[in-house]
Amino acid sequence: MEVFLKTEDEINLMRRANQLVGATLAELGKHIKPGISTLQLDTIAEEFIRDHGAIPTFKGFPNPFGEPFPGSICTSVNNIVVHGVPDEKTILKDGDIISIDCGTLLDGYNGDSCYTFCVGEVAPEVKHLLKTTKESLYLGIEQAVAGKHLGDIGAAVQEHCENEGYGVIRELAGHGIGKEMHEKPQVPNYGHRGNGMSLKAGMCIAIEPMITMGDRQIWLLPDKWGIITRDGKPAAHFEHTIAIREGKAEILSTFEEIEKLEGDIY
């Protein structure tokens, strides 16, 4: 299994692509209110990405059936875990949550990041799911240092979320990232400490816990994109692209602007 280690010059390019993803998500955050459709959000995202000289990587990306993704972002509302297709029928309403996954290709390198937003006033137990999922992402990143193993990341995410009684999706994982959006290795959100590939400085990976409030079983929607929880309960998804270094990973994507906008909501 070949894993591409990145040079500092390549990491600089990856940082730019990922900062643009962060800026796009923050721009969308300003528009996430009851009454807006997921298609409107998609249009805003595509314009924003192209205005900044990048390509929305998700547009046209094939599913396992060879069908191209129609949108520029994935918009996954409530019980949709990931890969929700933006459309005009899905209008956000007070109390919803929406995970927006966004990818950009800028100067030959990929950015990839996801954030679950609250729409209006969200139930406290759902906010707790969001808070826990985001915490688990940072606990995973803490483990992502040279000399540790992939299993250290997965175990950190899994333990934190399962301690709260949440489900950890097994069928989907994080991934290496660089010139391609999906490179090796896969980065599961579960595992055992000390197991799996050992991590090296210069590896760039996306860590992305997908966590359910109830059972971890999922279905594929008839549109062959959206992945939903079988029990209909909500799911959260937070993702950062990071560069592995000695001592501490560098987070290349950013939630800073979104969090400024949101304030202290959990």
Provide the binding-site residues for Mg ion, judged by CB under 5 A: 101, 112, 114, 206, 239
Counting Cβ atoms within 10 Å, is residue 218 exposed (0-12), middle (13-18) or buried (19+)? buried
Q: How far is the CB of 74 from Mg ion (least distance, A)?
A: 7
CA distance 25 to 90: 19
Separation between Cα atoms, residue 166 and residue 157, nearest integer Å: 11
Cα dihedral sign, 135-72-84-179: negative
**Quick check: helix, strand or coil at residue 124?**
helix
- Given the complex with Mg ion, which of 231 and 257 has the nearer CB atom? 257
Query: C-beta of 215: minimal distance to Mg ion in Å?
Result: 23
List beta partners, residue 243.
204, 250
Minimum Å gap between C-beta 214 and Mg ion is 23
- SS3 of 192-260: the string is CCCCCCECCCCCEEEECCEEECCCCCEEECCCCCCEEECCCCCEEECEEEEECCCCCCEECCCCHHHHH
Find the shortest distance in angstroms from Cβ 94 to Mg ion.
26
* DSSP single-letter state for residue 79: T
Which one, 46 or 101, has the nearer CB to Mg ion? 101
C-beta separation of 16 from 107 below 8 A: yes
Pairing of the two strands 174-176 and 55-56:
unpaired
Backbone angles phi, psi at 14, to 5 degrees: -65, -35
Q: To the nearest whole angstrom, how small is the minimum distance from the Cβ of residue 235 to Mg ion?
A: 14
Based on CB atoms, which residue is closest to Mg ion, 56 or 234? 56
Provide the minimum distance between the beta carbon of 206 and Mg ion in the complex, in angstroms, as a whole number. 4
Taking the complex as a whole, how short is the minimal distance between the CB of residue 241 and Mg ion, in angstroms?
A: 8
Beta strands at 73-77 and 204-207: parallel, antiparallel or unpaired:
unpaired
In the complex with Mg ion, the residue whose CB is nearer, 18 or 95, is 18
Residue number with CB closer to Mg ion (90 or 253)? 253
Nearer to Mg ion, 16 or 193 (CB): 16
Q: Report DSSP state, residue 173.
A: -
Cβ proximity to Mg ion, 44 vs 114, nearer residue: 114
